[in-house]
């Protein structure tokens, strides 16, 4: 067992969200054993995995990384980046590596770096399906081989094992593809023999940095202190503190069941977890247990393309039209989609009238004095989407609805050009658990000497 506490510095909730320099310096002054940061999420939706682009900004990521990279190299401690580039597939990882290599050149620093890829070939997923080793994570549906083949890109969330292997290869800087969020924070202490229950639970809170403190923030630094049977949380900014409630409440966040949190190879059991407030705005958390699963599974995420999108934004202020807007838009939708030969899909979003909650909206019969309208067209290619959007926009602009007295035009168009091409559209189509005999096998490691 290593000396404890094992101190983990979490600078920001997502790489690129930023942090105050003072908080970061406070953290480094306490001589942490590790700097770790989560860089991704599925929350921004399927586009980023599908397109291979990051949802974070390059300059912002470079700014955050410049502090972390220099500090980690200078202090000779590991820096681990989880779910690089937002979605953790190969183009996202490459994008992050380019930034790191640029920073190494600019700062004249050198280090051994591990790159752990998380892309899963379609053939492996098809094989897992055929062998009964693939199951949907409810409420995701069952999957067919055809659906797997339609996927643009598939990644799996790695557990701690490949990261531990990279550390054993002497790598200080570790860039992970898609990764279970707590792993960058938990893997090094696990290698040193710490209990996975507190280690993963601490990682689960640290991956959001100061969001779990009060007042919460996604862009501030916190420290996790790991002991043999518990962990403590400490804000590195005097303006925030951890409270029993803020910490416990965060355990609920974005999870369907706060008592059992499934991850690669097992389940975090929080039924006996206790949160105790300490002095100076710290909280101690004990009783969290990790229960290994009988078979090791990783979660797959995949997306498929569904066409290209064009939108147009307009306002409607005419009360005669607003009074009958639903039947008017329904008939235009049918007419335009049919006129277009069924090759595309048209959607109208009426802000001010159920546009936010859609089917879940309890107040369905609101009559506002104005409506914000987004015309959305999705078609097999961008040209067709542009044409469909233009067709819908011009039809609606001059549509002669019953009792119309304003015959000049039905839309207050917001922009010229009025129509905006948005590019390719993706949907999640794989959200499944895949069994694997070797937790490291799906995640090949590449070792690079940077700056030497």
Q: Which residues bind another protein (CB under 8 A)?
A: 42-47, 137-140, 244-245, 248-249, 251-259, 273-275, 306, 345, 347, 349, 355-362, 378, 425-428, 431
Minimal distance, residue 362 CB to another protein, in Å: 5
* Burial class (CB within 10 angstroms; exposed 0-12, middle 13-18, buried 19+) of 294: exposed
**8-state DSSP, 278:** -
The pair of structure tokens assigned to 231 is: 């962990």
Minimal distance, residue 286 CB to another protein, in Å: 12
22 or 361: CB nearest another protein: 361
Minimal distance, residue 212 CB to another protein, in Å: 11
Minimal distance, residue 130 CB to another protein, in Å: 24
Give the residue from 10, 63, 66 showing the smallest Cα distance to 35: 10
259 or 415: CB nearest another protein: 259
In this structure, how many other beta carbons lie within 10 angstroms of the beta carbon of residue 434? Answer: 22
In this structure, how many other beta carbons lie within 10 angstroms of the beta carbon of residue 55? Answer: 17
256 or 338: CB nearest another protein: 256
169 or 245: CB nearest another protein: 245
Give the β-pairing of 274-277 and 297-316. unpaired
Please, where are the H alpha helices in 272-397?
319-322, 325-339, 382-397
Give the β-pairing of 111-116 and 445-450. antiparallel
Minimal distance, residue 53 CB to another protein, in Å: 14
Minimal distance, residue 336 CB to another protein, in Å: 16
* Burial class (CB within 10 angstroms; exposed 0-12, middle 13-18, buried 19+) of 202: buried
Q: Is 178 helix (H, G, I), strand (E, B) or coil?
A: coil
Q: Which residues in 65-128 belong to E strands, given as ranges? A: 79-82, 111-116
Minimal distance, residue 260 CB to another protein, in Å: 10
142 or 406: CB nearest another protein: 142
Minimal distance, residue 246 CB to another protein, in Å: 9
Residue 106, H or E segment: helix 90-107
Round to whole Å and give the CA distance between 63 and 339: 51
26 or 41: CB nearest another protein: 41
**Maximum Cα–Cα distance for the chain, whole Å?**
81
Give the residue from 259, 192, 278 showing the smallest Cα distance to 228: 192
In this structure, how many other beta carbons lie within 10 angstroms of the beta carbon of residue 327? Answer: 10
Minimal distance, residue 29 CB to another protein, in Å: 32
171 or 270: CB nearest another protein: 270
249 or 397: CB nearest another protein: 249
C-beta separation of 161 from 439 below 8 A: yes
Minimal distance, residue 56 CB to another protein, in Å: 15
* Burial class (CB within 10 angstroms; exposed 0-12, middle 13-18, buried 19+) of 46: buried
Q: What angle do CA 351, 357, 361 make, to 5 degrees?
A: 105
Residue 4, H or E segment: none
Minimal distance, residue 94 CB to another protein, in Å: 24
Round to whole Å and give the CA distance between 41 and 58: 16
Give the residue from 41, 39, 49, 48 showing the smallest Cα distance to 79: 39
Residue 131, H or E segment: none
The pair of structure tokens assigned to 379 is: 């078609």
Minimal distance, residue 155 CB to another protein, in Å: 13
44 or 91: CB nearest another protein: 44
In this structure, how many other beta carbons lie within 10 angstroms of the beta carbon of residue 369? Answer: 8
91 or 258: CB nearest another protein: 258
291 or 356: CB nearest another protein: 356
């Amino acid at each position: 067992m290593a000396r404890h506490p094992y101190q983990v510095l979490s600078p920001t909730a997502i790489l690129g969200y930023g942090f105050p320099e003072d908080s970061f310096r406070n953290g480094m002054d306490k001589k942490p054993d590790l700097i770790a940061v989560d860089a991704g999420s599925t929350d921004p939706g399927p586009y980023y995995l599908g397109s291979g682009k990051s949802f974070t900004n390059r300059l912002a990521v470079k700014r955050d990384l410049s502090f972390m990279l220099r500090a980690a190299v200078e202090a000779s401690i590991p820096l681990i980046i989880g779910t690089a580039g937002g979605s953790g597939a190969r183009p996202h990882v490459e994008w992050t590596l380019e930034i790191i290599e640029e920073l190494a050149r600019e700062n004249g620093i050198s280090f051994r770096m591990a790159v752990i890829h998380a892309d899963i070939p379609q053939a492996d997923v098809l094989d897992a399906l055929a062998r009964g080793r693939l199951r949907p994570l409810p409420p995701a549906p069952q999957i067919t081989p055809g659906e797997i083949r339609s996927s643009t890109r598939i990644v799996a969330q790695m557990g701690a094992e490949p990261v531990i292997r990279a550390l054993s290869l002497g790598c200080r800087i570790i860039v992970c593809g898609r990764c279970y969020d707590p792993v960058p924070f938990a893997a090094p202490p696990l290698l040193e023999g710490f209990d996975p229950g507190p280690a993963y639970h601490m990682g689960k809170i640290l991956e959001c940095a100061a969001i779990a403190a009060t007042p919460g923030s996604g862009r501030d630094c916190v420290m996790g202190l790991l002991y043999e049977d518990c962990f403590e949380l400490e804000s590195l900014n005097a303006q925030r503190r951890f409270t029993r409630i803020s910490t416990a409440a965060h355990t609920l966040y974005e999870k369907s069941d706060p008592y059992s949190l499934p991850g690669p190879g097992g389940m975090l059991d929080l039924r006996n977890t206790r949160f105790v407030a300490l002095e100076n705005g710290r909280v101690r958390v004990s009783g969290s247990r990790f229960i290994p699963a009988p078979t090791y599974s990783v979660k797959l995420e995949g997306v498929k393309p569904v066409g290209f999108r064009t939108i147009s934004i307009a306002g409607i202020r005419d009360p005669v039209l607003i009074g009958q807007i639903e039947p008017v838009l329904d008939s235009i939708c049918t007419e335009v989609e049919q006129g277009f030969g069924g090759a595309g899909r048209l959607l109208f979003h009426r802000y001010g009238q159920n546009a936010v909650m859609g089917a879940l909206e309890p107040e369905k019969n609101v009559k506002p004095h104005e409506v914000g309208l987004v015309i959305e067209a999705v078609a097999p290619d961008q040209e067709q989407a542009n044409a469909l959007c233009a067709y819908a926009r011009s039809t609606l602009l001059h549509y002669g609805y019953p009792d119309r007295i304003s015959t000049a035009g039905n839309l207050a168009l917001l922009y010229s050009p009025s129509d905006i091409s948005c590019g390719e559209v993706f949907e999640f189509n794989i959200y499944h658990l895949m069994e694997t005999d070797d937790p490291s096998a799906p995640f090949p490691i590449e070792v690079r000497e940077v700056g030497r």
